[in-house]
């Protein structure tokens, strides 16, 4: 009787162009995606979001995790598994973003979110839900332990670098020898510059003044990326000082 019901259920499956319109795998997809989304939210909300100066990295991590999850789950039946996962990490890790150097911490978080997506999407019947939850929990706990215990020292080093970034716009101290502490969040832009004679350290003040005048932005730091002598131009990275909050009105 059971075998007859199975045959009836199989024969009742609706297809379009020899592809099933609906099958039971959609429930597996929803459950596994729910587990993936739960642990991804924990990592982003408690790990990535508080520790990153650029909050848009959280968007990158979330979308990368979701895309990798669905790619792996969709291609799971093709038996590409581990090779596919490692290839995806290599592709996305390199394409993120060959224009700017990615910090080791950000690369680690990319590997974490990709790993969570791969684990939850490629787990088969031999892997119980308890094992999947345990693996995800260990990854999340290890990440939080790193952030709370080890990450404090790293953040302290970053703050020290921010203090040394003031002064003449070249990462040096100010003229009076005082170390100026800068706000943690600054906007960064990349632009083409046509006055190569002002790129030397001796003309750093003139360079900053010219950039402020021509862009209308409060440029406080500049870094030379590339110099093209035949074209007489250079590529600069500039950092803009954050706007100061309005002073509260006097009582």
Per-residue pLDDT at 87 exceeds 70: no
Spatial separation of the C-alpha atoms in residues 202 and 211, rounded to whole Å:
16
User: Is the residue at 178 inside a domain?
Assistant: no
Pair (155, 195) in one structural domain: no
Tens digits of per-residue pLDDT, 105-161?
777 787 888 888 888 887 777 778 888 889 889 888 888 887 777 655 444 444 444
Per-residue pLDDT at 235 exceeds 50: yes
Pair (12, 91) in one structural domain: yes
Range of the domain at 211: 187-240
Pair (148, 220) in one structural domain: no
Pair (80, 193) in one structural domain: no
User: Is the residue at 182 inside a domain?
Assistant: no
User: Is the residue at 175 inside a domain?
Assistant: no
Spatial separation of the C-alpha atoms in residues 147 and 111, rounded to whole Å:
16
User: Is the residue at 50 inside a domain?
Assistant: yes
Pair (113, 212) in one structural domain: no
Q: What is the number of structural domains in the chain?
A: 2
Question: What DSSP string describes 150-212?
Answer: IHHHHHHHHHHHHHTT-SSSSSPPPTTSPPPPPPS--EEEEEEE--GGG-SGGGHHHHHHHHH
182 band by pLDDT with thresholds 50, 70 and 90: very low
Pair (67, 12) in one structural domain: yes
Mean pLDDT of the chain, nearest integer: 72
User: Is the residue at 171 inside a domain?
Assistant: no
Pair (19, 64) in one structural domain: yes
Pair (122, 214) in one structural domain: no
3-state secondary structure (DSSP) of residue 99: coil
Terminal-to-terminal C-alpha distance of the chain: 85
User: Is the residue at 119 inside a domain?
Assistant: yes
What's the predicted TM-score (pTM) here? 0.50
User: Is the residue at 167 inside a domain?
Assistant: no
**Residues 6 or more apart from 232 whose CB is under 8 A from it?**
194, 196
Tens digits of per-residue pLDDT, 192-226?
998 888 888 888 888 889 989 998 888 888 888 88
The strand ranges marked E within the chain are 15-16, 19-20, 187-193, 219-228, 233-240
Pair (147, 221) in one structural domain: no
Q: Residue 239 carries which DSSP code? A: E
Pair (87, 211) in one structural domain: no
């Amino acid at each position: 009787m059971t075998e007859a019901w199975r045959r009836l259920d199989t024969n009742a499956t609706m297809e379009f162009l020899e592809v099933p319109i609906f099958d039971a795998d959609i429930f597996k997809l929803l459950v596994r995606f729910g587990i993936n989304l739960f642990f991804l939210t924990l990592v982003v909300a408690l790990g990535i979001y508080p520790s990153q100066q650029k909050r848009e990295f959280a968007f990158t991590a979330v979308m990368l995790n979701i895309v990798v999850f669905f790619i792996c789950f969709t291609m799971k039946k093709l038996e590409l598994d581990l090779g596919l996962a490692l290839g995806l990490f290599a592709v996305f890790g390199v394409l993120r973003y060959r224009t700017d150097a990615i910090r080791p911490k950000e690369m680690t978080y990319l590997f974490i979110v990709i790993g969570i997506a791969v684990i939850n999407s490629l787990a088969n019947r031999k892997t119980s839900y308890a094992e999947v939850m345990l693996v995800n929990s260990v990854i999340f706990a290890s990440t939080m332990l790193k952030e709370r215990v080890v990450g404090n020292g790293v953040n302290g080093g970053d703050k020290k670098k921010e203090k040394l970034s003031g002064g003449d716009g070249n990462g040096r101290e100010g003229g009076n020898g005082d170390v100026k502490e800068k706000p943690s969040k600054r906007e960064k832009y990349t632009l083409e510059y046509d006055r190569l004679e002002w790129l030397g350290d001796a003309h750093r003040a003139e360079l900053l003044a010219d950039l402020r005048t021509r862009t209308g932005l409060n440029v406080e730091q500049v870094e030379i990326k590339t110099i093209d002598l035949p074209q007489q131009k250079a590529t600069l990275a500039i950092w803009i000082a954050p706007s100061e909050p309005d002073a509260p009105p006097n009582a």
